[in-house]
Amino acid sequence: MATESSVIHEYRTRLQERMEWIEQTQAPAIEKGAEILAQATREDRLIHLIGTGVHSRLAAEDGFFRAGGLANINPIFALPMESGVRYVTAQEQRAEPVAALLDMYPLQAGDPLIVANLYGMNGFTIETLLQAAQRGLRVILLTSTACAREIPLDHPSRHPTKLNAADAPHEVLIDVPMPMGDALLRFEGCPFPVAPSSGVLLSFTLHALLATATQKLLAAGFDAPVIRSINTPDYGVSNARLWARYGGRVKHL
């Protein structure tokens, strides 16, 4: 039970434990996923990125147009919270909108698709994985396998197949150790845990994956399309070549 004086320390410690677990256990999966991304970049493909939950959606924003990130990230924006939380929460339980959403983006067979959803069982997530397989995409899945296993098969958020994401089609799975309920701390007087972990863990895992891919590109002598911050003394002028290369291809660039 966290005390007032220890909240920051305990929160940081518990997050750090989980990030260390990712480093110690998921490095082979991250390396494998990064090689797929590096190969796609060398082949002048886009890297598609989707978050298939109300907060998992943040991954698509987190990986897009980031200083130090890759310019060929093509985010697929789903479940906008500005539409209303109750509405998008209901939408993430549904499979039906997925095909139409994916049809709006320039997906090509053989392209990589990073799918981020830590609970790993809602209708939107499973349908995304099924649709990706039908379209010949190389899926890198970021999810918590433990959470999905704990959720009953009759839960209303589940896909009609009752699949967990880990059992749906994918090429690489990176296990992100979010606990059930997301939050990490317990306070006296509150029956529920406090201080979510998913945002930090997902961002850490995603950027570790993308940075590893970048390192692989550079090690092979490839001119990696790394974005420079525009809030620098040189105004990020080196980005002009990236806009020329990807501006007509990345949907939201």
Task: Please tell me the distance from the alpha carbon of residue 67 to that of residue 37, in angstroms, as a whole number.
Answer: 18
- Residue 202, pLDDT above cutoff 70: yes
Task: Please tell me the distance from the alpha carbon of residue 185 to that of residue 15, in angstroms, as a whole number.
Answer: 11
What is the DSSP secondary structure assignment for residue 191, as one 8-state letter? S
81 close to 53: Cβ distance less than 8 angstroms: no
Fold for the domain defined by 23-246: Rossmann fold (3.40.50)
SS3 243: helix
Host H or E run for residue 85 = helix 85-91
Host H or E run for residue 131 = helix 123-134
**Torsional sign, CA 143, 148, 150, 156:** positive
Cα angle for residues 150, 21, 130 (degrees, 5° grid) = 50
Q: Which residues contact 207 (CB under 8 A, 6 or more apart)?
A: 62, 63, 69
Residue 4 pLDDT:
61
Model confidence at 80, in pLDDT bands (50, 70, 90)?
Answer: confident
- At 28-59, the pLDDT tens digits run 999 999 999 999 999 999 999 999 999 999 99
Domain boundaries, the chain: 23-246
- Residue 81, pLDDT above cutoff 90: no
Task: Please tell me the distance from the alpha carbon of residue 137 to that of residue 78, in angstroms, as a whole number.
Answer: 18
Which of 217, 219, 226 minimizes the C-alpha distance to 245? 226
- At 120-138, the pLDDT tens digits run 999 999 999 999 999 999 9
Residue 242 pLDDT:
95
- Residue 167, pLDDT above cutoff 80: yes
Task: Please tell me the distance from the alpha carbon of residue 184 to that of residue 147, in angstroms, as a whole number.
Answer: 14
Q: pTM for this structure?
A: 0.96
Model confidence at 235, in pLDDT bands (50, 70, 90)?
Answer: confident
- At 83-129, the pLDDT tens digits run 899 999 999 999 999 999 999 999 999 999 999 999 999 999 999 99
